[in-house]
Amino acid sequence: MGCEILQKDQEIVQYSPHQPVQQTMGKALCAKGQASPGLLHAYETLNSGCAFFIRSAEDQPQSLGPQARYAFHRLMGNRLRELDRFLSVVLDEIVLMSAISGQDALTFSRWRNTARKLAKVEQILRTTTGDAKWLAAIGRICACLHHCGGKIHDAGLLQDVTMISARAEAGYKVMPPLISEPLMLCPVTIYAIGGFYHILGDRLVAQAVLNPTRDFPSDGGTARIPEAGRTRM
């Protein structure tokens, strides 16, 4: 099984089931004790989740009956939901490090849309990456697997899978599933999703540690993200 190369912010990180995480800036800053205990724990949990998810590329069954296939799709959906929750806690800890009121932090922690939370944190850190749209696409993939057993009800989901898989700079094309077939994440897509969460978490932690006093934007508690990204996990 080959490895995939993901490029982000002038940094190339190599992923395979046996080498999922490398030393990166966020990891280095945490190792120096520059992150709060809560952020450090959340970051380590996210990294462990990314490594576990990437290793799950080895678990892809060759053939399954209808009931077993439905259960496997639900399993993959649950794994994606776990990654989303781990990232959500990282975002909560970053907000707690910011110069905001406790009430604002409590309100933020109750938001259930992680793409919305990411957009808000990027406002706090005064950075714009467009990663919220990738997170929203993964959310739709997760919903298909978890709630629909992999059954594709919207052709737009094929675009989500293709977009996420295209993050992997592979030497071959990733073919999206046919709308008449259940969604099955191929190893390239699994590597791409695990790598996306790892690199995103690393960048956010590094920015939060280096810029710990950002103010919470007073925009009435709404962060603008693309309408297509308003997906609840």
C-alpha separations of 194 from 35, 73, 116, 128, 214 in Å:
23, 17, 20, 21, 28
Three-state DSSP state, 8: strand
Among 86-90, 167-171, 193-197, the range of highest mean pLDDT: 86-90
CA-only gyration radius of the chain, Å: 18
Name the 3-class secondary structure at 141. helix
Please state whether the predicted TM-score (pTM) of the whole model is above 0.85. no
% of the chain surpassing 70 pLDDT: 61
Residue 90 makes CB contacts below 8 A (sequence gap 6+) with 39, 42, 43, 46, 201, 204, 205
What is d(CA 202, CA 39) in angstroms, rounded to the nearest whole number? 11
pLDDT at 219: 45
| pLDDT of 18 above 60 | no
pLDDT in tens, 117-167: 898 888 888 887 778 888 888 888 888 887 777 777 776 777 777 676 665
